[in-house]
Structure formats: C-alpha cells, structure tokens
Amino acid sequence: MAQDVLCEVANCVYNKEGERCGASQIFVVSHKGKEADNSRETDCKTFEPSGL
C-alpha cells in the first residue's frame, strides 16, 4: 500500500504541507467502468474543495 499520496490540487481539503494527501482513504474511479487505459481516464472521488 502507498505510504505517501501526492496531490497538486491546492484547493482540496485533504491537501497538506508538501502536497501530501491527508485523507484516511483514497477513492479513484475510471471513466470506463472497471478499467482504464491511462491516467486521463481516472478521477479522484476523494476530492473535497477547501474553500480557498
């Protein structure tokens, strides 16, 4: 399991110092069902706006 999850989305409530994700879980989904051919076909459903 990944120890460090990096995130460059500055307005996510889980984005911590050093662009580290502070969420207890990460949920990534595919635009194509259960498979993806590249990263452009995925999204992080854990994202929550921080109100910056």
Query: pLDDT 10s per residue in the chain (52 long)?
Result: 778 999 999 999 999 999 999 999 999 999 999 999 999 999 999 999 998 6
Q: What angle do CA 4, 42, 9 make, to 5 degrees?
A: 50
Which DSSP letter does residue 17 get? T
In sequence order, what are the beta bridge partners of 20? Answer: 6, 16
Report pLDDT for 3: 83
pLDDT at 52: 62
- b/e map of 13-28 (b: 16 or more CB within 10 Å)? ebbeeeeebebeeeee
